Structure formats: structure tokens, C-alpha cells
Structure 1
């Protein structure tokens, strides 16, 4: 049995909470792409856990796997594991030997390149954590993989090939001075020790083989996507995208299982009841100008500040063309709608039902970012609903959601022809109204 969790929008949809909620039915939780640029906040019994790399299932005592589609910063990995252990948890995390390693020169180059783009329209607004440069090295066949850290001789050869290129890029292209991030001996010493620690703790696996064996033994697997559909490298608002595939297809390539394994299970799209975005790029339903006070209210109430960066997120009305695009791209079997409670008590409520582009109406996202940026939202107004005791709503179930809120949810279902499996009405796992358990019936 498998369940795949995918962000339907621009990241920050609350995927970690759903992984935590339904992770109880999984034996293994697999991150299949991204790195420590992916903020996941999980609340357990009032305790908040902010994770950027360790799979969210670690909070529930599940085996966590960082798949071959991930890029791994060992410093972040060990820091997060240490923090979880200090709080009384015993996380069991495995790392794919085919996953690529984020090295200090990747982080340095990420910052340099983003600064170089600052005065152009190519600024992406990255987290500066070296994600893009690491994926560039992966595709350029000059990357260093987790398996390379286990063999000091191989690691040195890889470093001696890659580092001079990075030094030349920093010094000769950007005219800056390379530092310790380009010291082969220092890097070899640190990352050989990383490899030794990974070996001693039995953390590395052949990911596809490991998952096949565990599935054959009857284990259930949850695939946890990071970021969201509209920042997918292929299906997002290029170039304002991440460097990997958060969409459901990435679960297969990023973990070593076949596409039929993912496709025969449930694929759940996670939707925020409004829209938020960190970084650059189009946002047709963005609340700006005279609507900025409304955006501020939603931002404060929803805690809309990046888990990784702390940056305030841009706020907009729910963008339905975006959801149609996401549902088609990943083949959702169900959706979970989070933050419905944040919209309670508003004086007005709209959604972006469609776009106007060059005098025509379109109901999906244009293929180019330039055309998407010219889109004007076709808004549809909804009745608002009052503040209620959301803890009571979570305890009583779907029928306790105010009628106007249910109308809003049922509109979403109709527009993407996908049932709502769950509704988040607060940050804690217990504050989720569950209509369908994706593990049932598999």
C-alpha cells in the first residue's frame, strides 16, 4: 500500500501535517526530492517540530528515508537528528546512497548566483542552501553522492575533479575570492568523517531495493513531496521554480520504485484554502494595494512566514486554475484542504475561478511564466463564515463546519473532480476533520 502526498500550489500548503496525520498508517515515510530548503512544521500534543530535511514521519516513530531524488546536507541532517533526540525522540532515518550531497561550495555559489541576478528579472528568491547548484552538478555528472562518502579514495577523486571548477567559477567568472569551501583537503577530511558516521549508524541504503524488500514484507509506504506543483522544475512557473519534481511522478524516479507502485496507491493533493508564496514569480490573485491590510490579517492569523527562511509570504485568494493544473499533473485521488479556519470572520471572500488573458478566458495555467504574469483573475465571491470553536468542529466532524465553509469545499471538489479527504482547521493533528482515510480499501 502506498500514499503519496503532493503540494498543489506553491509550497507551504501544510503537507507535513498531513504526512504526520496519515503517517500513522505507514511503516516507512520517504522524501523523494528536494533538500533542506523544504520547511515542514508538525505539531504533536502542542509541541511544534520544524523540520527541513528529516522526513515528517520521524515525529511519529516511523522509518524515514531520504530518497535518491533528494539532495542531502549532512550538517543539517545530523543537526536535526540531534535536536529530535534532545526532545526525547529516537528517529530512524535512512539515506539513499544514490542521493547527491550538498557541499559548502554549493551554498557559496547559490548566494553568489542569486546576488548576480538581483538586478534582473531572473531573481528566483532561493533559500540560499545550495539546492540548485547541487542539482546542476547532478545533471552535469560532476556531483558527489552519499555512496561516495563511504569510500575515502573515491571521495578524493570526485573532489579533485569538481573543486577546481568551482574555484575557477568563483574567482574567474564572478571575480571573488574562494575560501575554505574550495579546500580539497578540508572537505575530504570532513566528509570522510560523515561517511564513517553514516556507515557506523547503518544509515545508508540502496533505496529502491530497500523499499522493494520492505513492501514485499508487507510494509506500507508513504511518499512525502516537498515544495509544490507550481514550483516543479518541469510543470511550474519556470524559472521561478525549485530544481526537482515535487509532482507525483517524482515519487517514482526519486525513490527507485516503479510508477505503477505510486499509481496503484492514493495520491493526495494538499491545498491551502487561500494562497501564499515565498519568493518571486507571478501570483495573479495576490492581495496588494488597498487589499494589503487584508493580506496582513491572513498572514498573521495563518503564521505565513517561511519555515526555513522566516520571510513573510505573499498572500492571495485561492487560485483554482492552479488547482486544476495540479490535479491533472499528479492525478489526485483526493485532496486535503488546510487552513479553512484562517478564512473565518473575514468581511469578504473570493477565489480566482479563471483568468483573463489577452481578452480570452482560460481555466488553467499558461505554459510560460510571461503569459501567466499577464493574467488577470476572474474572481468569484463566496459567503463568509463566522469564527467558531474549531476544536469542537474537529471533534464533531464535517457536518459541524459552517455551511458557507462546506459550500467553499464542495466548490473545490467540483472544480477539480476530486473528493476532499480531510479539512485542516488548526495546526495540531487532532484539529483535522477526516472524511476518508487513504489507507482504507487498499
Structure 2
């Protein structure tokens, strides 16, 4: 039986999943997205095909990152919600950078569609929430998933019955007018626009269940890599609800979003991508956040780590690595190994802290609390372990770990940091990101 390998975010997203997916795609035939929409952003830096001495930066939002590898096919699965204008805009931008997607990009006919009215409603819902705003990307993802759950959504296959599509579309928009008032929106013009988009999309549409299972049963079997979107702490069930996304971002979302049985995943690797510190975008609890700019560390992580969203450009909130969060993530996703990213961002810190426990109302919590009210003072106290940084173990000729090409090259204090993480979590750290480029990744093993 051919196995399926999976890459998932282990924190609140933005861990750098795209870089590992890009590296692993060289050994896979298909790279599949299983959930989310164009609210997820992956930035990948690789050598230019036309000039290998220069780097080129690709920004992915909806399309699978594995497309950078010219022999890898991309698939957008049934669990993804798709805004077609953004789909084509992203594809056109990538192709303008020299990335040819011809014949190697496909979309599930069961994937739900995101429309512009979803994006308008997304903003209106945030206004309604006022001071308790979730901090969404305003990409319409939540309203599209709401429509899916309430069985009023429109899927890709609906585009190819024009009368049915137009009738359903009018009724859905009218329902939104009744709920939010008559906001400015030209329903009939949008129907005509989607006729043209449907025609352009048709060559990309497949029955993704049949497509994937034919790939798995072919001789030889195709090698499949699943690229997760967002991360476990943004999962609709297991994240910091309601400050989450609207899909299943964990291992369960791989099965439901692609129609792949668990046995294929169980026989492969599930790699959790973990930033060497913690970041999140938008509202919601963040127990290790450096809100008081303690010693300038929070700002250091933001600036040195270039912590600005690929999709929104928003500044990310930054804080110390939280092993309570990661233990929760490991329990649910059962990672076979971890990819620790952006370790080089910690190069110039004298001290590094790691959260090892939550003390809730005077008692150590067994796991990550479901109630968000317990994640703030006076209920919560975070227990930290402090490590010496490796700044003093670097030299003027070698001021960054970005030049390290093997685990043995890393400073001793950096190794101690890594080994503490894997011992605490009980999961080996297989990959270590020491810089933004494709080549700046150390593999242990």
C-alpha cells in the first residue's frame, strides 16, 4: 500500500509550512490542499530557474506550494473553499514569474465556492462583533463555510448547470440581503461573470476522489503529499474557539477534505511544522505573548523574523515558544516528526524562554484549557524554563546559524534548545530551518 505524507501547522499558523512542502515535493508526484482557502499564505524563496545565483520569492495563498517543483501536480481538494477570481489571479502571477502550471493543476468538483458577497458579509460580521472581533482576513472564508454547513453553499460542479447555478445564487444572495440589509452588490452581473470564470476553470476540474484513488492504486503508485493550511490552534474544534478559522486544520481534515482513508496516512509521515518561537495573527488568547516589549524581544522577533502576514500584510503578534500548545497539538495530530523553523531569528538573544506549564487558579493544568477565560490573568500563570542563547557561541566570521549545513554545525546551546523541545514533546525534530532559502534547512537522521 502506498502511503500519504502530510505537513501540518502545529501552532497558530505562519510556521513556514510552504518551505518544507517545497523541499518534499521533489520526492512526490502530487501535492494536495485539503482545507482552508486563500486566507492562508506561504512564502517560498528558491533559486531562479533562469539565473540560479539569484533567488526568487513566490507567494502562495490558495494554490499548493508543491507546484514550484515542475514534476509535481497540484490538487485543490473538496475541503477547500475557492474564490475563483483569486485562484486565477494567483495562477497568473505565478506564471508571470516563470512557473508553468499547464496540465498540472486540478480542482475538485466538490469544492465550495467563495463569492464577493461572502467577503462583504465577512466584514459586516466583524463589525457586528465589535470589541470581540475575531480578526479574520476578510476573505469570505467563514461565511463560505457557514453556507456549506447550512447546506446553502454552491460547489464547483454547480457552475456547469447555468440555470441551476443562477437560481441558487439569486436565492443565496437574497438571503444575505434579508440578514444584513441591502448592501451594494450586482447579483446579475456576478452571474454573468461566473459564466466566463466557469468556462476558464473547466479544464482544471476533476472528481478528486477518483483522481486520488487512481493515483494511489496505479502501478507504480503515485506519491502524494498533503499540504495543510492554517494550523491546529486555529482548528474549528480544537483551536482557541471562537478565535479560529472555519475548517478542520488538523489530521482529521486531511481525511474529510480529500477523501483519503486513515490507513494511507497512518503508514506515512505526519510532520508538524513549529516556529522556534510563537506568533499569531488576529484576536484571541496568546499566553506567551511579549506584549510589554520585554527587553525589546517581541519587537526583535517581529523585525528579524519579518513577521508580517503573506496574505494580509498584518504585523504578527510574537512571543516565546509554548510547549503547552505544542503538547496539545501533538496529542491530536500524532506527529511522526517536527520541522523547527526560523531558529536563526533567535541568534542574537542572550536568553530564551520556553513555556512548559500553565498554572490555572493555582493548579497545573493537564492540557490546554477549552475555556478562554482561564487563559488570562488572574486565572493563568505561565511557567517558563530559561535557556542561555547561542549568541556568544557565534563569531564575527560566522554571525548566524544560517551557514550551518548539518546538525553538528549548530552551536551547542542551539542543540540543547532543540533537544529539550523533542524530549518534552516526545517527538523527534527532523528538520531545522536556519534561514529563509530552500537550501537553509538542516535535516537530522
TM-score by length of 2: 0.93
What does the per-residue CA deviation read over 1:208-255, in whole Å, with 9 as the maximum and x for residues that have no partner? 111001111211001111111111000000000000011011111001
8 Å Cα contact 1:16/1:41 also seen in 2: yes
Do residues 191 (structure 1) and 194 (structure 2) align?
Answer: yes
8 Å Cα contact 2:349/2:390 also seen in 1: yes
Query: For 1:420, which of 416, 429, 445 is the aligned residue?
Result: 429
8 Å Cα contact 2:39/2:137 also seen in 1: yes
8 Å Cα contact 2:347/2:401 also seen in 1: no
Aligned to 1:439: none
Do residues 274 (structure 1) and 277 (structure 2) align?
Answer: yes
8 Å Cα contact 2:13/2:230 also seen in 1: yes
Distance in structure 2 (CA, Å) of the matches to 1:391 and 1:235: 34
8 Å Cα contact 1:2/1:262 also seen in 2: yes
Cα distance, 1:372 vs. partner?
A: 2.6
Aligned to 1:379: 384
The equivalences for 1:89-238 within 5 A come to 89-91=99-101, 92-119=104-131, 121=132, 123-171=133-181, 177-180=182-185, 183-199=186-202, 202-217=203-218, 218-238=221-241
Aligned to 1:283: 286
Cα distance, 1:389 vs. partner?
A: 4.1
What does the per-residue CA deviation read over 1:142-190, in whole Å, with 9 as the maximum and x for residues that have no partner? 001011112212211211321210111221xxxxx4222xx33212111
Distance in structure 1 (CA, Å) of the matches to 2:411 and 2:213: 44
The equivalences for 1:33-48 within 5 A come to 33-45=35-47, 46-48=55-57
Aligned to 1:404: 413
Query: For 2:319, which of 316, 327, 331 is the aligned residue?
Result: 316
Aligned to 2:403: 392
Cα distance, 1:265 vs. partner?
A: 1.1
| 2:216 aligned counterpart, secondary structure | helix
Cα distance, 1:66 vs. partner?
A: 0.8
Aligned to 2:345: 342
Aligned to 2:440: 431
Aligned to 2:8: 6
8 Å Cα contact 1:321/1:363 also seen in 2: no
Unaligned runs of at least 5 residues, structure 2? 48-54
| 2:388 aligned counterpart, secondary structure | coil
Distance in structure 1 (CA, Å) of the matches to 2:78 and 2:314: 29
8 Å Cα contact 1:321/1:365 also seen in 2: yes
Distance in structure 2 (CA, Å) of the matches to 1:292 and 1:258: 49
Cα distance, 1:261 vs. partner?
A: 1.6
Q: 1:149 to 1:371 in 2, by over 3 A?
A: same
Aligned to 2:356: 353
CA RMSD, aligned part only? Answer: 1.2
What does the per-residue CA deviation read over 1:368-398, in whole Å, with 9 as the maximum and x for residues that have no partner? 222233422101001110244434302xx00
Q: 1:147 to 1:357 in 2, by over 3 A?
A: same
| 1:117 aligned counterpart, secondary structure | helix
What does the per-residue CA deviation read over 1:187-206, in whole Å, with 9 as the maximum and x for residues that have no partner? 2111121111111xx20111
8 Å Cα contact 1:267/1:333 also seen in 2: yes
Aligned to 2:52: none
| 1:143 aligned counterpart, secondary structure | coil
Distance in structure 1 (CA, Å) of the matches to 2:189 and 2:135: 30
| 2:26 aligned counterpart, secondary structure | helix
8 Å Cα contact 2:109/2:206 also seen in 1: yes
Q: 1:205 to 1:295 in 2, by over 3 A?
A: same
Distance in structure 1 (CA, Å) of the matches to 2:283 and 2:289: 12
Aligned to 2:268: 265
Distance in structure 2 (CA, Å) of the matches to 1:376 and 1:145: 46
Cα distance, 1:51 vs. partner?
A: 1.1
Aligned to 1:21: 23
Aligned to 1:57: 66
8 Å Cα contact 1:233/1:244 also seen in 2: yes
| 1:413 aligned counterpart, secondary structure | helix
| 2:416 aligned counterpart, secondary structure | helix
8 Å Cα contact 2:41/2:309 also seen in 1: yes
